[in-house]
Amino acid sequence: MATQTNNNQENISATKKKTAQPPKYNVIMHNDDYTTMEFVIELLQGIFHKDPTEANHLMLTIHNKGKAICGCYTYEIAETKIAQAHRLASTAGHPLRCSMDRI
């Protein structure tokens, strides 16, 4: 009976070691000459859940440096957030673009 218990513990340990975290992706928002700063702040707060101070700081980084990382997510979540941002920007008539980069 003790041998069976040891084998079960070894199998559980082996399973735990094989489990890995999914890769993460940075969502990057890019600057353009048409999207308003106010709209960018709204997206950062609404989609990326940034507080007003952080959203304003990120918007200025995007404006001054050309791009900024808005968040780090698994592939599916990053893809969804980018699609949401593109849909809202398109609906509002803005050419805003986001991309993702694997960490």
Helix%, strand%, coil% for the chain, nearest 5: 55, 20, 25
Helix axes 52-65, 37-46, angle to 10 degrees: 130
Q: What is the CATH number of the domain that holds 70?
A: 3.30.1390.10
pTM: 0.80
Give the range of the structural domain holding residue 36, as residue numbers without chain letter.
25-102
Q: Is the pLDDT of residue 7 over 70?
A: no
Q: What is the pLDDT of residue 18?
A: 72
Q: Please tell me the total count of domains within the chain.
A: 1
Q: Is the pLDDT of residue 3 over 90?
A: no
Q: Is the pLDDT of residue 2 over 70?
A: no
pLDDT in tens, 48-98: 999 999 999 999 999 999 999 999 999 999 999 999 999 999 999 999 999
Write out the two tokens for 73: 């997510």
Does the residue 18 lie in any domain?
no
